[in-house]
């Protein structure tokens, strides 16, 4: 019998996976498993280089950062922590505590091409932020300069001082591999939103062009209301949000967001109309001032409806539209042809145009130049603007009320992030996944629950947060929170209950998913190399009552559930939220996850067990068994596989089903 297939110790080998995809596109460029650069250039029609210099973003450590993105994740895993989870049996939301680069590497197999939208708020690199030190290969002198703080779990966070000669490089080294893997996780129509300020916005833009491609740039949003008071020359009142798509050509034709705060605006318009009478110009000025004074309600494009006439708030648009038909429009009275302002086309024909003129919806700047008047109360959504307003203190105040005290500095705003989600999803997002791997206080998870409550959607969230220690003098530490991750999890618990209470009268609100399964990064649970871990009083005490086979196969603290989840990480397209069921009718250590993958950790293989496995309906697509269950009896292993195959064939009849058997 040929060697039996094994469960791979490596979750994914990104280099080989990329090489296979490249070989599928350009067979001539891959020779004997190696990439032939010159052959690849020829396949792309590049037969000579003009010169050695190229337009590209370079920085010290770039090659090491690129290598970091391709590192394998052998020897590490994610461990399920049911005691810290909420509604773990039913929730489809995930919270992972650990270094986000390591977590992204571990999720590569399960969530490749599965994440609809990623929002992150990384360190802004102000000189006081802590960045992740990923143990790049440095000289001894460089390593000495890079020494920093180590968390309780041994993960290093380094204060990136502006005095450092590698100030920008350190930040780029930290960001590159995370963005590289993040792109792999996005769906084809997926997008990433990245909050940033002036310190690194330009470098981040260039870095995103390297990772996502210049053609996949969507927008550079300006978030007005940041209110930074430490400026010496110009008071900075904004931040940025860079938006990039995995493939911009796969995005929907247009993004729309629900009008936020429409009713207060319309009420203010009516009040101003009464106050100003026929002085609509004066009313418009007062409405613009009212918008600037708004504190709690984000405007998200509503400020563009800042003119008033007898019908209400309106804005004027360029009337051409992408894909519009090339009608020849003429002035209804004067007869002059109204030329296009671009090569796009009119959005209406002459008859519709004449009707709009009669209704007062067309403003003639000149006899051959027009604007179209659109009214706020006649549309239920608006195109998101590139500049929007939301004061930063609003989020801090709401989070403070949620915890009963100020517990977290500078949280992002869940109302704003919900708008980003709404833009990216453009629907109720049935089953779509939204991720934040710089979770902080888990604003994104809060936003997902809030939006689901509003529109009945079924969006799911994945939060990732390193257990960064809280300052011992902080209010959070005094309140019992030792790490940012603990605050993050508690915020989800409290926010979920508040959202349900706020929407208590809404039909179906009891089904809102406000839970989350907690995982933490840790060492592998499986003794992949079958090293002899027996012997020694200390180790024997750790193993306690473990059998000899468990000592051979697993690490001292591993549970069966730990092993099942580690095997789950090696399956494509299986979310960590998938159900795990113990099949008591078959054995005490036999499990089924995602209704399709069977993991049998029984120490002995019997004919009765094989019969039971073959009768499972629906048939699992993969069976995972233990090598040690067969001992040294190769013939028994061979016989077991053949018997299982024969029984499955008999049970499924003419409907032959594909399945695999692997061993650990």
Q: pLDDT (tens digit, 9 = 90+) per residue, 258-283? A: 766 677 888 899 999 999 999 999 99
SS3 content of the chain, % helix, strand, coil (to 5): 35, 20, 45
CA angle 92, 95, 97 (to 5 degrees): 155
Encoded tokens for 64: 């090491």
**Would you list the domain boundaries of the chain?**
56-255+386-523, 262-382, 541-663
DSSP state, residue 197: -
Contacts of 30 (CB under 8 A, 6+ apart): 19, 22, 23, 36
Encoded tokens for 318: 């360029």
CB 292, CB 349: distance < 8 Å: no
Q: Which CATH number is correct for 56-255+386-523, 3.40.91.50, 3.40.50.150, 3.40.120.10, 3.30.420.40?
A: 3.40.50.150
Within 13 Å and on the Cβ side, how many CA atoms surround 357?
A: 18
C-alpha–C-alpha distance, residues 562 and 539, integer Å: 19
- The low-confidence residues of the chain, meaning pLDDT below 70, are 1-3, 32-33, 47-54, 126-167, 226-231, 259-261, 294-301, 320-327, 341-344, 426-429, 531-545, 653
**Residue 420, Cβ neighbours under 10 Å: how many?**
22
Would you state the pLDDT for residue 561? Answer: 97
Would you state the pLDDT for residue 127? Answer: 65
3-state secondary structure of 437: coil
- Go through 79-88 and write b for each residue having 16 or more CB atoms within 10 A of its CB, e for each that does not: bbbeebbbeb
The label of the residue with tokens 């010169």 reads 51
Closest to 420 (Cα-Cα) out of 30, 119, 643 = 119
CB 387, CB 221: distance < 8 Å: yes
The label of the residue with tokens 């999803």 reads 425
Would you state the pLDDT for residue 433? Answer: 96
pLDDT of 391-405, one tens digit each?
777 888 899 999 998
The label of the residue with tokens 């190229």 reads 54
Encoded tokens for 540: 């024997």
């Amino acid at each position: 019998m040929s060697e039996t297939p094994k469960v791979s110790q490596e979750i994914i080998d990104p280099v080989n996976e990329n090489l296979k995809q490249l070989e599928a596109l350009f067979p001539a460029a891959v020779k004997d498993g190696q990439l032939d650069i010159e052959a690849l250039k020829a396949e792309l029609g590049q037969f000579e280089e003009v010169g050695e210099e190229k337009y590209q973003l370079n920085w010290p450590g770039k090659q090491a950062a690129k290598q970091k993105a391709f590192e394998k994740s052998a020897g590490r895993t994610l461990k399920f922590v049911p005691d810290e989870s909420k509604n773990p049996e039913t929730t489809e939301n995930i919270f992972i505590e650990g270094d986000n680069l390591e977590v992204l590497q571990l999720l590569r197999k399960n969530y490749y091409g599965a994440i609809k939208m990623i929002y992150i708020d990384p360190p802004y690199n102000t000189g006081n932020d802590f960045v992740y030190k990923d143990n790049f290969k440095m000289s001894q002198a460089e390593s000495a300069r890079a020494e920093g703080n180590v968390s309780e779990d041994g993960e290093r966070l380094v204060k990136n001082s502006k005095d450092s000669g590698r100030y920008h490089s350190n930040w780029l080294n930290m960001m590159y591999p995370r963005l590289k893997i993040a792109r792999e996780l996005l769906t084809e129509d997926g997008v990433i939103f990245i909050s940033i300020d002036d310190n690194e916005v330009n470098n981040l833009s260039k870095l995103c062009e390297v990772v996502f491609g210049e053609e996949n740039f969507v927008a550079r949003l300006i978030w007005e209301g940041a209110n930074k008071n430490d400026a010496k020359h110009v008071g900075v009142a904004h931040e940025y949000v860079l938006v990039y798509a995995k493939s911009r050509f796969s995005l929907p034709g247009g993004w729309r967001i629900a009008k936020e705060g429409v009713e207060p605006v319309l009420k203010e318009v009516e009040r101003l109309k009464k106050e100003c009478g026929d002085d609509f110009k004066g009313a418009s000025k007062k409405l613009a001032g009212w918008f600037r004074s708004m504190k709690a309600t984000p405007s998200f494009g509503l400020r563009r409806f800042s003119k008033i006439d007898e019908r209400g708030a309106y804005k004027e648009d360029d009337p051409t539209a992408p894909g519009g038909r090339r009608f020849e429009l003429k002035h209804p009275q004067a007869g002059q042809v109204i030329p296009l302002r671009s090569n796009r086309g009119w959005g209406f024909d002459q008859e519709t145009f004449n009707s709009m003129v009669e209704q007062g919806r067309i403003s003639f700047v000149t006899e051959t130049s027009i604007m179209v008047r659109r009214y706020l109360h006649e549309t239920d959504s608006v195109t998101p603007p590139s500049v929007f307003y939301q004061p930063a203190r609003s989020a801090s105040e709401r989070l403070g009320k949620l915890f009963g005290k100020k517990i977290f500095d500078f949280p992002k705003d869940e109302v704003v992030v919900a708008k980003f989600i709404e833009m990216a999803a453009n629907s109720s997002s049935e089953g779509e996944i939204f991720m934040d791997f710089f979770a902080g206080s888990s604003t994104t998870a809060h936003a997902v629950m809030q939006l689901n409550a509003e529109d009945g959607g079924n969006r799911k969230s994945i939060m990732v947060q390193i257990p960064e220690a809280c300052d011992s003098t902080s209010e959070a530490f005094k309140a019992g929170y030792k790490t940012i991750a603990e605050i993050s999890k508690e915020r989800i618990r409290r926010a979920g209950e508040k959202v349900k209470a706020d929407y208590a009268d809404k039909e179906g609100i009891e089904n809102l998913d406000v839970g989350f399964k907690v995982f933490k990064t840790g060492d592998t649970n499986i003794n992949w190399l079958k090293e002899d871990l027996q012997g020694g009083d200390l180790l024997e005490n750790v193993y306690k009552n473990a059998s000899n086979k468990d000592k051979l196969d697993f690490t001292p603290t591993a549970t069966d559930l730990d092993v099942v989840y580690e095997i789950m990480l090696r399956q494509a397209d299986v979310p960590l939220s998938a159900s795990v069921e113990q099949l008591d009718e078959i054995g005490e250590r036999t499990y089924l996850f995602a209704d399709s993958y069977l993991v049998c950790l029984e120490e002995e293989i019997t004919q009765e067990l094989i019969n039971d496995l073959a009768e499972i309906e629906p048939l699992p697509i993969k069976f995972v068994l233990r090598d040690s269950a067969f001992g040294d009896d190769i013939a028994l292993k061979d016989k077991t596989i053949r018997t299982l195959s024969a029984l499955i064939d008999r049970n499924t009849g003419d409907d032959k089903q594909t399945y695999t058997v692997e061993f650990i």
